[in-house]
Amino acid sequence: MADTLTQEQIDAMLSSVMAGDSVPLDTHEDKDEIKEYDFRTPKKFTKEQIKILERIFENYSRHLSSYITGLLRLYCKVSLASIEEQKYFEFSNALPDYTIMGIVDLGIEDDDIEESNAVLQLSNSLTFTMIDRMLGGKGTYEDADRDFTEIEINVMRGIVERFTSLMAEAWDGYVETKPKLDSIETNSRVISAADADETMIIVAMEVTINDSKSVVSFCMSAITMDQIMKKFSAKFSSGKRAGSPTKETERKENLMSTLSQSELTVTAVLDDTMLTLRDVLNLQINDIIPLNKPITENLELKVGSTCWFDGKLGTLNGKKAFRIDNILKN
């Protein structure tokens, strides 16, 4: 309930009115809660349909994570970032002049679905990171505003083909697909996958490699996606997929097999100690830094930043070695 005005407040308001001043009104309007709605482009998809697409592309993101991690031997995390409806020109204008774009056919064989074409676009940071790693580098990215060489296109063609084939597993249980890569395009200003004003469904997936973030985008006509959703609405509304336990077990085994080949940094730690900045600046060759750990006490063996084992240093075949005595990480 609103507070009662005091006599002084009432007198002040009357004085303001008599003097011709405006009286501010508290409308309790929270502008942050108001969202603009464009009636010229009404949304085609319901919240339930968007949730189904989220499940499909979250599944697809997991498959991409597993594949990229195994391919590059670098830990990669792919996560669904957003699903939006946009005009094709809005999607196209946001792209750089040169970028890897796969023209994909999902291969949905149904008379009621006219076509199932889509665009799979990789941001340049991801593309050049993968190219550098595949050609023997560390997977670093340098911004380059140029077209791709034939060697780079051929490297990416095989990767995008695998990206395409993984869609079949992501859609499994919703709709049977036989996706294939029709072509690779690199000039976004030349390719026109749809009419400029056609409404598209844009799915953005964030890719994280070495703390560097990139994006993989999936672009499909909203009309086509709507036909797919309506055709299989019975399955969608139930929220259940017809995936078999055997396939799910195979997926888990394939994921673990891929992750088991990932490279990890293992470090044997003698001990930690504290030095002042003056001490560090005065360090010279042959100086000795005393440590607090007794010589009989085991050393830690860290995987990444986590201590997994302890044991002792030694030699094996003329090289330094570490013998594990205890497992600390379950």
Q: Give the other-Cβ count within 10 Å of 183's Cβ.
A: 11
Q: What is the pLDDT of residue 1?
A: 45
**Can you give the pLDDT at residue 244?**
54
DSSP state of 207: E
Which pLDDT score, from 0 to 100, does residue 329 have?
A: 65
**What pLDDT is stored for residue 67 in this prediction?**
94
| CA 252 to mean position of chain CA atoms | 20
Q: Hey, what domains does the chain have and what are their CATH numbers?
A: 47-259 (3.40.1550.10), 266-327 (2.30.330.10)
Q: Is the dihedral of CA 214, 218, 219, 223 positive or negative?
A: negative
In order of 3, 107, 168, the CA distances from 28 in angstroms are: 15, 53, 51
Region of residue 239 (phi > 0: left; psi between -120 and 50: alpha; otherwise: beta): left
| pTM, full prediction | 0.61
Rg (CA), the chain: 29
Per-residue pLDDT of the chain in tens (330 residues, 90 and over written 9): 445 666 676 667 666 656 655 545 554 455 455 656 555 555 678 888 889 899 999 999 999 999 999 999 999 999 999 999 999 999 999 999 999 999 999 988 777 777 889 999 999 999 999 999 999 888 887 777 788 999 999 999 999 999 999 999 998 888 888 999 999 999 988 887 788 889 999 999 999 998 889 999 999 999 888 888 877 665 545 444 445 556 667 667 766 766 676 777 888 888 888 889 888 899 999 999 888 888 888 888 888 778 888 999 889 888 889 899 888 865
pLDDT value at residue 251: 65
Tokens found for residue 298: 């085991």
